[in-house]
Every structure is written in C-alpha cells, then in structure tokens.
Amino acid sequence: MELSLYHLVRQPKIQQEKNPLLLLLHGYGSNEEDLFSFAAQLPDEYLIVSVRAPYTLPGYGFAWYAIDFDADMNKFTDDVQAVQSRDLIAKFIDEVVAAYPVDKDNVTLIGFSQGAILSYAVALTYPEKISRVAALSGYPHNTIISDVNSEKLNKLRFFVSHGTIDQVIPVEWARKAPEFIKALNLDVEYHEYNAGHGVAPQNFYDLLNWLNK
C-alpha cells in the first residue's frame, strides 16, 4: 500500500497484536532521518514511523510549510500550507493504522520545532486520533488549530520542552503552552533546559521517562 508521505519505519522489538505508534515529525529544513536517529533508544514496544515533510527546500531539506520574511526580516508562516500539512498528517495516521498492526487508540506524536507546531495542531484539531504529544522546541500556533472540541480532548497528554537560549523560537513562546494546555483541562509536563534550538541529553532522558509512564 502506497502511503501519502515518504517515511522510515522501525518495527517494534516487542511484537504485540496491536503495537502503539510513535510518529516523528522533523523541523524546517531537515528530513525524516533527523529524529529517526533516536529510534534505537526509544521504547521497544512502539512501531516508530519518521515522516518526511511534503515541501522541498533548496539543498536536501524539507518543510511542513513555508516561512517568509519581509523587508524588516519579520517572519511570516504560510498558514494555508500549514493547515494542508496538518490535515495530511491526520490522513497519513489513518493510512498507517490501516497498513500496520498498530493500536489506533495509542498514537504518540513527537515533533521538533516546525514538527512540534504541527503536532499541537494535529492533536488539538483531531484529538480522536492522538493520545499523546511531545512538543520539542515548538509552540501552539493558534491560527492553524481548528475549533477545539473539548469533549473529545479528555485523553490527550503533553510533554513540552524548550531551551532557554533558543535562538530560533523564543522560550517565551513555549512558556505559553502549559497555560494554554491547562486551560483545556489537559495534562502537561513542561521542562526547560540551558540549551539552544536542539534536544539536550537531559531533554531526551526526560522524554523517555515520560514515554515510559
């Protein structure tokens, strides 16, 4: 079966009748191999799928949506592309559930940077498809999150982490996430690290602890 997005797969080391699914969403200008480098250290029972974003950038990079700059170097996100990617990821999750023996009620998104922004949008727009989100170095971008249906949100849980010296996405943006999530009566674990725009070793360790809970 041909799936709509190119992806890499790590089969579960512990085979179950229906394995939990871990979907990895990379950041702007990266590719599916980036977060997949963590796959060997992630819990054995997961089917791990690392997805390539649909838009090609110069060189060998990909993006979930374009980021444009004006004359004063202010950043603008292409929200139309972002919403298309959000819906494409939701469709891709359905395709993975159909193609692999995974538990559709145990789907975790791990997104970095732009992938984290999309993870928030997918989970809050399609909460029936997602059980947990790990948003690394990102933030909730409200204009790409459709009307949140609070009745369907009851099972969603979030792990949010950010570097205090992140030069790409200010930590102040990430600090709004726990308040935003708690206002929806959802569970959130928030961490900051003395790090830039990346995943510090302690961050990865805390993420593993959260995944294993």
Within-domain flag for 2: no
Within-domain flag for 1: no
What's residue 93's pLDDT? 97
Residue ranges making up the domain that contains 109: 7-211
Q: How many domains does the chain have?
A: 1
List, in sequence order, every residue forming a beta bridge with 111; answer none if it has no partner.
Answer: 25, 135
CATH number, domain at 198? 3.40.50.1820
* Mean pLDDT, residues 75-97: 93
pTM: 0.94
Within-domain flag for 68: yes
* Mean pLDDT, residues 150-165: 89
43: three-class secondary structure by DSSP = coil
Q: Residue 69: pLDDT band by 50, 70, 90 thresholds?
A: low
Res 55 pLDDT > 80: yes
C-alpha–C-alpha distance, residues 60 and 49, integer Å = 20
**Kind and range of the H or E element at 203?**
helix 201-211
* Mean pLDDT, residues 76-81: 88
The CA–CA distances, whole Å, from 144 to 30, 65, 75, 148, 162 equal 21, 11, 16, 11, 21
Within-domain flag for 24: yes
Within-domain flag for 128: yes
What's residue 155's pLDDT? 84
Q: What is the pLDDT of residues 127-141, one digit of tens each?
A: 999 999 999 999 999
**Kind and range of the H or E element at 138?**
none
Q: What is the pLDDT of residues 158-204, one digit of tens each?
A: 999 999 999 999 999 999 999 999 999 899 999 999 999 999 999 99
Q: What is the pLDDT of residues 97-106, one digit of tens each?
A: 999 999 999 9
Within-domain flag for 175: yes
55-57/61-63 β-pairing = antiparallel
Within-domain flag for 41: yes
C-alpha–C-alpha distance, residues 85 and 193, integer Å = 29
